[in-house]
A and B are shown apart, each in its own frame.
Chain A
Amino acid sequence: NAGVTQTPKFRILKIGQSMTLQCTQDMNHNYMYWYRQDPGMGLKLIYYSVGAGITDKGEVPNGYNVSRSTTEDFPLRLELAAPSQTSVYFCASREGGVVNTEAFFGQGTRLTVV
């Protein structure tokens, strides 16, 4: 089972460039999340989605956009990359309708903006 797959694993961006971090899950989970983890810090919620076509902001949404056109995919778009967006990005999913299920995480994308 693939679980949650993130691509790419590593990326270096120049200031002002844009990119999309891909996330796909094969568990038919309704809920999906994007987090960022700065060095030595905890996980901060960027955006989340409770189903296809529904997204909402988390704690740190500025500088990012998301879309959820299918249950499987939840891409995160960075427009005009800034050094402050250097971080490790994690995508997660969990089953919908049963709140106490745990979240399954991807392996992370390490992004450096120079």
Chain B
Amino acid sequence: AQKVTQAQTEISVVEKEDVTLDCVYETRDTTYYLFWYKQPPSGELVFLIRRNSFDEQNEISGRYSWNFQKSTSSFNFTITASQVVDSAVYFCALSERYYGGATNKLIFGTGTLLAVQP
């Protein structure tokens, strides 16, 4: 069954520390897609990155980087030199194609609340 686990409920760091948010997923399909979203205190959902199951290259965007490992079914997110503005809830999400069909469910993990202290 399709499932996303974010075991870290809350993380608190001091500004400039590096922090890694974990995401572990379960899927029965070989073609699937992973996403990270940010939800700042204002409540909106902001898209950060997407990754398909055929592309295991890591990605870096400024202070953000993502590590995708199919062998461990993980898609972890690292913020380098964290800042107070990074304080938010971060969600990992999974979309599978379900045996070539088009169900296209988009399932979210429970989120990790990141608090960056000045």
Residue positions of A touching B, CB distance < 8 A: 31, 33, 35, 40-45, 48, 50, 56, 58-59, 88, 90, 92, 94, 96-97, 99-105, 107-108
Contact = CB atoms under 8 A, between A and B. Distances in A.
B40 to A, nearest CB: 13
Interface string B102-118: 11111111110100000
A44 B33 CA distance: 18
A101 B93 CA distance: 12
A90 B91 CA distance: 14
B95 A99 contact: yes
Contacts of A97: 102
Interface of B: 6, 31, 33, 35, 43-45, 47, 50, 52, 91, 93, 95, 97, 102-111, 113
B108 A43 contact: yes
Contacts of A58: 105
A43 B43 contact: no
A37 to B, nearest CB: 9
A108 B108 CA distance: 16
27 contacts: A35-B108, A40-B113, A41-B111, A42-B91, A42-B108, A42-B110, A42-B111, A43-B108, A43-B111, A45-B105, A48-B104, A50-B104, A56-B103, A58-B105, A92-B45, A94-B104, A99-B31, A99-B52, A99-B97, A100-B33, A100-B50, A100-B52, A101-B50, A102-B35, A103-B106, A105-B45, A108-B43
